């Protein structure tokens, strides 16, 4: 499964109600369409005063719908058909008025009718001026919709069109699209799997301001976590410091050093099906971190290092029988030989031999060149690929290994 995209081929109904933020829905429609979704935009008549339907039509290459009975007449498929065939319905922006109608079950326009008719998951992205979102009537409506299963993308804090500051700004398009990925991913081929992923480079303190670390950005590990999430897994991401934002729909557990990562992994793998150690864990740490900043003096400074615990090797003894354990081996030379050695020493099911001899592969890059080696001697050489694609190949292998175990 090379290019896995959970949105590809999915039917998304995007309801746009009349908030000033309606223009942001154009970016949502664009991102969904680019990801391969079939996007049917449904607008309230008032929303069309704010954004021209043509903007959506040009981006989605599909007609924009508004009138319930026009649709009935033109297509002879009934005004509930949109809802019936949708994989997901998202209302963005959802005004206070639309939320109130949805909460009451009213059906006086195409958005509310579609929501009532659909059996697909419902995602709501409220947007309204400061003060309104705090109103108890709105809060109650949102709470009731949540109770019925709607996923709510919380509006952001900030300056409103009115000039007031508060919570009510429509969430940014990437957040809304990411939420749709999470929702659509449920029921994927990793549904019922619990996946633990480590990412980033650990930091081993020298003193309160200095540390020993490496160049890991976290990109590879985060890509594995997001890929597993998009395929329906429950994911725990144990991350050493990284500039990346914690992914939506993933349980993030930040750690700093190898010892903290060790404890977090030991705790998380208890009921897990898969452990993927993409983190670059320090092999050595300063024997004793100074509790005060070390002062500069003329001569040499000797840093005494002691080995850290090998987390992966340690999990061989403590892991439950079902756990599939995947390690990485970042190598500049003798890639296969060194990786096979680690696979055996750490008693892994799979090792991702990571060729870091070229600039576009390994630490910090968006792409990676890897060879997948399993404990039965199996080998798959992958070309240079974006890290999310590498992540999906690793997950495919984990699924294969599990299927072989079950027999
Ligand atoms: O984060 P990015 O910038 O995207 O970069 C990705 C990456 C290069 C960090 C990643 O693809 C990768 O190769 N990670 C492993 C890095 C590494 O240095 O591995 P290693 O050969 O030191 O360790 C082998 C395996 O043992 C790894 O899975 C590692 O997580 C694990 N290990 C290592 C040391 C230790 N004390 N405990 C461990 O569990």
Nearest ligand 1 atom to the CA of 327 is 28
Q: Are residues 211 and 127 in the same domain?
A: no
pLDDT score recorded for residue 3: 59
**Structural domains counted in the chain:** 2
Does residue 3 belong to any structural domain of this protein?
no
* Cα–Cα distance measured from residue 59 to residue 40, given in angstroms and rounded to the nearest whole number: 11
State the catalytic residues: 214
Q: Are residues 325 and 290 in the same domain?
A: yes
pLDDT score recorded for residue 70: 60
Expressed in angstroms and rounded, the spacing between residue 34 Cα and the centre of ligand 1 is 33
Q: Which of 156, 185, 214 is the last residue of a domain?
A: 185
Does residue 5 belong to any structural domain of this protein?
no
Its domain, for residue 232, covers 194-406
Q: What is the pLDDT of residues 218-257, one digit of tens each?
A: 999 999 999 999 999 999 999 999 999 999 999 999 999 9
Expressed in angstroms and rounded, the spacing between residue 221 Cα and the centre of ligand 1 is 10
Q: Are residues 204 and 335 in the same domain?
A: yes
Cβ of 364 below 6 Å from ligand 1: yes
pLDDT score recorded for residue 37: 97
Q: Are residues 132 and 225 in the same domain?
A: no
Among 227, 247, 328, 372, residue to substitute to test ligand 1 (most atoms within 8 Å of Cβ): 328
Q: Are residues 220 and 321 in the same domain?
A: yes
Does residue 2 belong to any structural domain of this protein?
no
Cβ of 310 below 6 Å from ligand 1: yes
Q: Are residues 172 and 310 in the same domain?
A: no
Q: What is the CATH number of the domain that holds 299?
A: 3.40.50.10300
Q: Which of 185, 204, 230 is the last residue of a domain?
A: 185
Q: What is the pLDDT of residues 188-204, one digit of tens each?
A: 999 999 999 999 999 99
Does residue 365 belong to any structural domain of this protein?
yes
Q: Any alpha helices (H) in 275-382, and if so which ranges?
A: 311-318, 335-345
Does residue 4 belong to any structural domain of this protein?
no
3-state secondary structure of 405: helix
Percent of the chain with pLDDT over 70: 96
Q: Are residues 180 and 201 in the same domain?
A: no
- Say what angle helices 219-230 and 387-406 make with each other, to 10 degrees: 60
Q: Are residues 90 and 224 in the same domain?
A: no
pLDDT score recorded for residue 225: 98
Does residue 383 belong to any structural domain of this protein?
yes
Cβ of 335 below 6 Å from ligand 1: no
Q: Are residues 173 and 268 in the same domain?
A: no
pLDDT score recorded for residue 2: 42
The number of angstroms, rounded, from the C-alpha of 42 to the middle of its chain's C-alpha atoms is 27
pLDDT score recorded for residue 1: 42
What does the longest C-alpha to C-alpha distance in the chain come to? 88
Question: Quick check: 76 pLDDT over 70?
Answer: no
Expressed in angstroms and rounded, the spacing between residue 272 Cα and the centre of ligand 1 is 20
CA dihedral angle for residue 134, residue 139, residue 140, residue 145, rounded to 10 degrees:
160
Q: What is the pLDDT of residues 310-342, one digit of tens each?
A: 999 999 987 778 899 999 999 999 999 999 999
DSSP characters for 176-226? HHHHHHHHHHTTSTTTT-EEEEEESB--EEEETTEEE-----SHHHHHHHH
Average per-residue pLDDT for the chain: 94
Q: Are residues 245 and 388 in the same domain?
A: yes
Among 277, 284, 309, residue to substitute to test ligand 1 (most atoms within 8 Å of Cβ): 277
Question: Quick check: 368 pLDDT over 90?
Answer: yes
Q: Are residues 327 and 378 in the same domain?
A: yes
Q: Are residues 129 and 225 in the same domain?
A: no
pLDDT band at 69; cut points 50, 70, 90:
low
On whether the CB atoms of residues 43 and 66 are closer than 8 A, the answer is yes
Q: What is the CATH number of the domain that holds 109?
A: 3.40.50.1950
Cβ of 278 below 6 Å from ligand 1: yes
Cβ of 264 below 6 Å from ligand 1: no
Question: Quick check: 75 pLDDT over 70?
Answer: no
pLDDT score recorded for residue 176: 98
Cβ of 353 below 6 Å from ligand 1: no
Question: Quick check: 12 pLDDT over 70?
Answer: yes
Q: Which of 185, 204, 226 is the last residue of a domain?
A: 185
Radius of gyration of the chain (CA): 25
* Cα–Cα distance measured from residue 101 to residue 202, given in angstroms and rounded to the nearest whole number: 50
Does residue 30 belong to any structural domain of this protein?
yes
pLDDT score recorded for residue 71: 52
Does residue 1 belong to any structural domain of this protein?
no
Strands laid side by side in the 151-152 sheet: 38-43, 11-16, 88-94, 122-126, 151-152
């Amino acid at each position: 499964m090379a290019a896995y995209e959970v949105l590809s081929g999915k039917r998304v109904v995007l309801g746009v109600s009349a908030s000033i933020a309606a223009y942001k829905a154009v970016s949502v429609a664009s991102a969904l369409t680019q990801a391969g979704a079939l996007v049917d935009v449904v607008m309230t008549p008032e929303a069309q005063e704010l954004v021209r339907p043509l903007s959506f039509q040009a981006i989605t290459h599909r007609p924009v719908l508004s009138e319930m009975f026009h649709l009935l007449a033109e297509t002879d498929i009934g005004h509930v058909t949109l809802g019936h065939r949708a994989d997901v319905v998202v209302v963005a922006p959802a005004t206070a008025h639309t939320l109130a109608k949805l909460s009451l079950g009213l059906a006086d326009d195409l958005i509310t009718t579609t929501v009532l008719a659909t059996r697909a998951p419902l995602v709501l992205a409220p947007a309204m001026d400061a003060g309104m979102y705090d109103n108890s009537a709105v809060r109650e409506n949102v709470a009731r919709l949540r109770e019925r299963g709607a996923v709510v993308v919380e509006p952001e804090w900030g300056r409103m069109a009115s000039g007031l500051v508060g919570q009510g700004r429509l969430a940014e398009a990437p957040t809304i699209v990411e939420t749709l990925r999470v929702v659509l991913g449920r029921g994927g081929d990793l549904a019922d799997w619990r996946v633990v992923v480590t990412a980033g480079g650990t930091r081993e303190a020298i003193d309160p301001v200095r540390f020993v670390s490496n160049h890991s950005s976290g990109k590879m590990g985060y890509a594995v976590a997001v890929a597993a999430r998009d395929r329906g897994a429950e994911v725990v991401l144990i991350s050493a410091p990284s500039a990346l934002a914690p992914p939506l729909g993933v349980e993030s557990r930040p750690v700093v050093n190898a010892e903290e990562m060790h404890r977090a992994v030991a705790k998380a793998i208890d009921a897990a099906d898969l452990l993927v150690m993409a983190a670059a864990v320090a092999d050595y740490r300063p024997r004793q971190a100074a509790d005060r900043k070390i002062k500069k003096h003329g001569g040499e400074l000797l840093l005494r290092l002691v080995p850290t615990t090998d987390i992966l090797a340690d999990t061989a003894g403590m892991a439950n029988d079902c756990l599939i354990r995947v390690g990485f081996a970042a190598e500049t030379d003798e890639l296969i030989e060194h990786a096979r050695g680690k696979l055996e020493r750490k008693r892994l099911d799979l090792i991702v031999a990571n060729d870091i001899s070229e600039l576009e592969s390994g630490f910090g890059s968006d792409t990676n060149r890897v060879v997948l080696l399993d404990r039965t001697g199996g080998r798959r050489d992958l070309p240079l690929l974006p890290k999310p694609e590498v992540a999906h190949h690793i997950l495919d292998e984990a699924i294969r290994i599990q299927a072989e175990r079950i027999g």
